[in-house]
Amino acid sequence: MAMLRSPRPSILLWLATVVLITLNLRPFLTAIGPLSPAIQAQTGMGLEALAWLTLLPMALIGAGTWLTPAVQHRLGARPAMTLALAFIAAGCALRLAGSQSAVLIVTAALCGVGVALAQGMLPGLIKFQTPGHVAPMMGVYSAALMSGGALGAQFSPLAMQWGLSWQVSLALWTWPVLLALWLAWHTLGTMPLPVAAGWQSGSDTTWLLQRRRTWLLMLAFGLMNGGYATMVAWLAPYYQARGWSAAHSGLLVAVVSVAMASAALAFPALVARHPDRRPWIWLTLVCQAAGFAALAWRPDAAPMAAAVVLGVGLGGCFALFMLVALDHLHHPLRAGALNALMQGGGFMLTALAPWVMARLHRATGGFHAGWLVQLGAVLVVALLVARFNPGHYDKAMRPPAGQVMPVP
């Protein structure tokens, strides 16, 4: 990762900004699961209502990510990122008044909109700012995303254990978001950004939606990421139903997230010199299959080991999918737009996974069937990944005849 040794302050500042922004994109989600008994006790929310705290932001992340290129063109990268972080900060802060289920759902929506904007912008900005280090930078981005999830899952239940209310334990995440907002405003004001014409041309997604490969990426990413959403929403409640405490079950979610972060950092570095990412993706899918099988059939045998294996599979696969989407197109703005579309459609599909698990729990009285559904989804994704042959990327994503992409 030569980029990390660069002496240029602008690159180091950009790296710090990417990490701090990304760390704030998951704690609002992962903190909910370990605190769910306390939330249910005070708000009266059932499992299906509680699922909306994951389902709604995931759906909004999906829909909002599709709109991100247009918002970014209209406002500019700096104001759009500031707006994104302001939404997340507002959603976290309003959880202080979260004793009513309706308020909690509104906060989830605010955070989801903010994450959609930030998550839709960052991959394209990374490819523009550090074009020679896309793989390691996407590894850093993905690792920071998962690390933020680990912090949310572990710190919020500990804060409640130390005597804070669950509302305050959730609202504490406002402060790091505000710090990220300040740093992003400063950094994006000092670094070069693409000209408006480049953003406008690069963000034209109409022709991308006419390519079957775009929809294949959405489907595969959505099914794969459904495993993460299900884990975030239901892993802690699953083990609490087996007698674990909030802090102990939160630790399990944190272990998954830390393993995800490690894998998300390692796999892009490992594949940097291998254009064909498929063997590595299949390896991560094998890890996911093993993890979900352990949750379904042997949940008490070695839960921490299963959490590590599952985390390696989820984190490595996420990072590799982000990289594969960027691989499909050479120009950073078009690649960023394709990545945003993949995330957008994918997250809308992902949003259904926690709700499906809640419905299966209601129908069967347990979580076993839900983990088996996730195992089946992994097998489907393994078949879809076979289509990601890098030798066919140019043919699969050929731009419309006569359209020339300006150099930013």
DSSP character string of 61-121: HHHHHHHHHHHHHHH-HHHHHHHHHHHHHHHHHGGGGTTSHHHHHHHHHHHHHHHHHHHHH
Q: Is residue 1 part of a domain?
A: no
End-to-end CA distance of the chain: 25
Give Cα 384 to chain centroid, integer Å. 20
pLDDT at 27: 92
Give Cα 221 to chain centroid, integer Å. 11
- Rounded to whole angstroms, how far apart are CA atoms 36 and 234? 9
Q: Is residue 401 part of a domain?
A: no
Q: Is residue 118 part of a domain?
A: yes
Is residue 361 a contact partner of residue 370, using CB atoms and an 8 Å limit?
A: yes
- Rounded to whole angstroms, how far apart are CA atoms 304 and 117? 34
DSSP 384: H
Is residue 48 a contact partner of residue 326, using CB atoms and an 8 Å limit?
A: no
Q: Is residue 132 part of a domain?
A: yes
pLDDT at 200: 47
Tokens 């899952």 belong to 153
Residue 252 sits at the vertex; the CA angle it makes with 269 and 167, to the nearest 5 degrees, is: 110
Query: Distances in Å between the alpha carbon of 244 and those of 144, 235, 272?
Result: 28, 11, 41
pLDDT at 139: 80
Tokens of 140: 């850093």
pLDDT at 400: 63
Tokens of 385: 């990944």
Is residue 221 a contact partner of residue 342, using CB atoms and an 8 Å limit?
A: yes
pLDDT at 381: 97
- Rounded to whole angstroms, how far apart are CA atoms 57 and 107? 9
User: CB under 8 Å to 187, separation ≥6 — which residues?
Assistant: 13, 14, 16, 17
Q: How many domains, in total, are found in the chain?
A: 1
Q: Is residue 2 part of a domain?
A: no
Q: Using only C-alpha atoms, what is the Rg of the chain?
A: 20
Tokens 């998962």 belong to 146
- Rounded to whole angstroms, how far apart are CA atoms 127 and 137? 9
Tokens 């979260």 belong to 98
Half-sphere exposure of 228 (CA within 13 A, CB side): 33
pLDDT at 7: 40
Q: Is residue 3 part of a domain?
A: no
Length of the chain: 408
- Rounded to whole angstroms, how far apart are CA atoms 89 and 406? 36
DSSP 131: G
Q: Is residue 378 part of a domain?
A: yes
- Rounded to whole angstroms, how far apart are CA atoms 376 and 384? 13
Tokens of 139: 């590894």
pTM for this one?
A: 0.77
Residues of the domain holding 135: 9-396
User: CB under 8 Å to 305, separation ≥6 — which residues?
Assistant: none
CATH assignment of the domain containing 177: 1.20.1250.20
pLDDT at 314: 95
Q: What is the dihedral of CA 98, 101, 106, 110, to 10 degrees?
A: 60
CB atoms within 10 A of CB 367: 23
Phi-psi region of 164 (alpha: psi -120 to 50; beta: other; left: phi over 0): beta
Is residue 278 a contact partner of residue 327, using CB atoms and an 8 Å limit?
A: no
Predicted confidence pLDDT, tens digits, the chain (408 residues): 344 444 444 778 889 999 999 999 999 988 888 888 888 888 888 877 888 888 888 888 888 777 777 788 788 888 999 999 999 999 999 998 877 888 899 999 999 999 989 988 888 788 788 877 777 888 888 889 888 888 888 888 888 888 889 899 999 999 999 999 999 998 887 766 655 444 444 445 677 888 899 999 999 999 999 998 899 888 988 999 999 988 888 889 889 988 998 998 888 888 878 889 999 999 999 999 999 999 999 999 999 999 999 999 999 999 899 889 988 888 777 787 788 789 888 888 988 898 899 899 989 999 999 999 999 999 999 999 999 999 888 888 877 655 544 444
Alpha helices, DSSP H only, in 172-302?
174-188, 196-202, 212-240, 246-270, 278-297
- Rounded to whole angstroms, how far apart are CA atoms 125 and 71? 14
Q: Is residue 403 part of a domain?
A: no
